[in-house]
C-alpha cells in the first residue's frame, strides 16, 4: 500500500472508532470512505448507516453494514467523509467523486461532520477545481453564465444532475460559494464552509491526527498500526 493510501486508511480507522452502537451514521463517498467501511465492518459496531452514493451503498451491502434510506430520517448523529482539499481554517473542496450534493445534504443533517483525509489533502488555500452539479435543462446557458467551467466525462448523478467543474480562481471561498449557490441552474457546488466541519482526521507519517475546528490545532493524536 502506498503512503497516501496508508494515510487514508489511518484516518478512516481512527474515525471508525468514534462510531458507537445505536448511532445513525452518514457515509461519504470515495477511496478514503472505502477504508472507513472496512474498518466499521471489522469493528462489528451495531450502528445504522445512510449512504451518499450507490457506490458506497454497494460496498456497505457487501460488508453487511445495515443501510437506511435517507428519506426515512431527518437527523443523523455523525457523518464521516473524505475531501479533495482542506485549508487550515477548514474550508473544503469536495466532489472529486461527483457525490458532493448528496454528501452536503447528509453532512447538513448530521450533529457532527468528521472529515477523513491523508496529509496530501491539506492545502494552504483552496485551488480547485470546484465540482458542480448542474440542471440538464438550459445547460449551455448555465455554463455560459458560470464562465470558466468544464463538463466532466462521467454519468449523471443518481439524481439526474450533470457533473462539471468550475475552473476559475478561488480568491475568497465564501464569495465564490455564495455566487455559485445563487446561479440559476447550479444544483450544488463542492465548497463546504468551515461551519459544517466538526473535526478533521489527517492520516500520515504512521499516525492519525485529529484537528478541531476552533483553532485548527492538533487536539489528539492516535497511534498508527491497529
**Which residues bind to ligand 5RP, rule: CB under 6 A?**
28-32, 81-84, 94-100, 103
Measured from the CB atom, the residue of 29 and 87 that comes closer to ligand 5RP is: 29
Instruction: List the catalytic residue out of 6, 57, 85, 103.
Output: 103
Instruction: Report the nearest approach of ligand 5RP to the CB of residue 167 (Å).
Output: 17
Closest CB to ligand 5RP: residue number: 96
CA 12 – CA 76 distance, rounded (Å): 19
CA 51 – CA 184 distance, rounded (Å): 27
Measured from the CB atom, the residue of 2 and 44 that comes closer to ligand 5RP is: 2
Edge to edge, the sheet with strand 85-86 lists: 85-86, 92-93, 191-192
Measured from the CB atom, the residue of 30 and 128 that comes closer to ligand 5RP is: 30
CA 46 – CA 92 distance, rounded (Å): 30
Instruction: Report the nearest approach of ligand 5RP to the CB of residue 164 (Å).
Output: 14
Instruction: Report the nearest approach of ligand 5RP to the CB of residue 145 (Å).
Output: 24
CA 166 – CA 126 distance, rounded (Å): 13
Question: Catalytic residue at 133?
Answer: no
Helices 54-63 & 31-43 angle (0-180, nearest 10): 30
Catalytic residue positions?
103
Amino acid at each position: 500500500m502506498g503512503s497516501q493510501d496508508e494515510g487514508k486508511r489511518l484516518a478512516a480507522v481512527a474515525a471508525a472508532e468514534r462510531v458507537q452502537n445505536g448511532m445513525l451514521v452518514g457515509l461519504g463517498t470515495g477511496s478514503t470512505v472505502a477504508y472507513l467501511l472496512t474498518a466499521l465492518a471489522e469493528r462489528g459496531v451495531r450502528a445504522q448507516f445512510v449512504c451518499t452514493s450507490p457506490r458506497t451503498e454497494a460496498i456497505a451491502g457487501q460488508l453487511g453494514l445495515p443501510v437506511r434510506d435517507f428519506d426515512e430520517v431527518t437527523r443523523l448523529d455523525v457523518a464521516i467523509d473524505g475531501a479533495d482539499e482542506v485549508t487550515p481554517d477548514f474550508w473544503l473542496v469536495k466532489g472529486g467523486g461527483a457525490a458532493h450534493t448528496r454528501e452536503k445534504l447528509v453532512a447538513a443533517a448530521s450533529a457532527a461532520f468528521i472529515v477523513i483525509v491523508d496529509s496530501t489533502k491539506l492545502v494552504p488555500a483552496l485551488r480547485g477545481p470546484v465540482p458542480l452539479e448542474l440542471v440538464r435543462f438550459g445547460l449551455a446557458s448555465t455554463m455560459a453564465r458560470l464562465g470558466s467551467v468544464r463538463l466532466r466525462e462521467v454519468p449523471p448523478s443518481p439524481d439526474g444532475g450533470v457533473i462539471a467543474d468550475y475552473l476559475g480562481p478561488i480568491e475568497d471561498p465564501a464569495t465564490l460559494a455564495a455566487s455559485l449557490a445563487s446561479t440559476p441552474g447550479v444544483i450544488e457546488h463542492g465548497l463546504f464552509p468551515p461551519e459544517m466541519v466538526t473535526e478533521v482526521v489527517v492520516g500520515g507519517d504512521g499516525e492519525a491526527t485529529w484537528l478541531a475546528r476552533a483553532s485548527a490545532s492538533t487536539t489528539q493524536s492516535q497511534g498508527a498500526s491497529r
